């Protein structure tokens, strides 16, 4: 007897980033792609996609520059909750993250001492407007429906 198990909604959402050299940045990418979002249905990267994240950039420092130039992932967000630039930075001294929100080049909000297991909650609070829960129906123009 063989049993197959399928999980709906488990499609991975990979970040459009070239494999970095910095191990801490590699771990951040892994956590964003694998850790669940607070809703329990998505991963954190799905949360980013649903918030309209695009234009990803990375700061990939050498080991000797990790404190002066912290590893980071930045992206532009366009949701009803926030529109601007979001950055997740690794804080080496505390082994935590910081999340920054910028609009028009100005720092709007910064959350320090974000542990990996609360990263999804912080990003949800800052950028996720919940619109992913709404069903959107778009009528395509074209032929009239055929009646049988």
CA distance 16 to 119: 19
Q: Where are the beta strands (DSSP E) in 2-134?
A: 54-59, 72-78, 83-91, 96-103, 106-114
Q: What is the pLDDT of residue 115?
A: 96
Tokens of 9: 């909604």
pLDDT surpassing 80 at residue 4: no
To the nearest whole percent, how much of the chain has pLDDT over 70? Answer: 90
Q: What is the pLDDT of residue 40?
A: 86
pLDDT surpassing 90 at residue 6: no
Q: In whole angstroms, how far apart are CA 56 and each of 66, 69, 84, 99, 122?
A: 20, 18, 12, 15, 19
Q: What is the pLDDT of residue 8?
A: 54
Q: What is the pLDDT of residue 117?
A: 94
Give all strands of the β-sheet with 96-103 in edge-to-edge order: 54-59, 72-78, 83-91, 96-103, 106-114
Residue pLDDT, tens place only, 79-119: 989 999 999 999 988 899 999 999 999 999 999 999 999 99
Q: Which of 88-92, 116-120, 136-140, 141-145 has the lowest mean pLDDT?
A: 141-145
């Amino acid at each position: 007897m063989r049993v197959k198990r399928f999980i709906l909604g488990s499609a991975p959402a990979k970040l459009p980033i070239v494999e970095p050299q910095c191990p801490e940045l590699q771990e951040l990418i892994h956590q964003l792609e694998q850790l669940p979002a607070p809703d329990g249905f998505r991963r954190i990267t799905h949360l980013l996609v649903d918030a309209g994240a695009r234009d990803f950039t990375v700061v990939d420092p050498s080991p000797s520059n990790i404190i002066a130039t912290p590893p980071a992932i930045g992206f532009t967000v366009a949701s009803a909750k926030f529109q601007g630039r979001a950055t997740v930075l690794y804080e080496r001294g505390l082994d935590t993250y910081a999340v920054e929100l910028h609009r028009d080049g100005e720092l709007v909000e910064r959350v320090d001492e974000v542990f990996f297991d609360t990263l999804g909650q912080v990003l949800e609070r800052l950028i996720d407007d919940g619109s992913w829960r709404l069903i959107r129906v778009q009528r395509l123009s074209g032929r009239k429906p055929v009646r049988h």
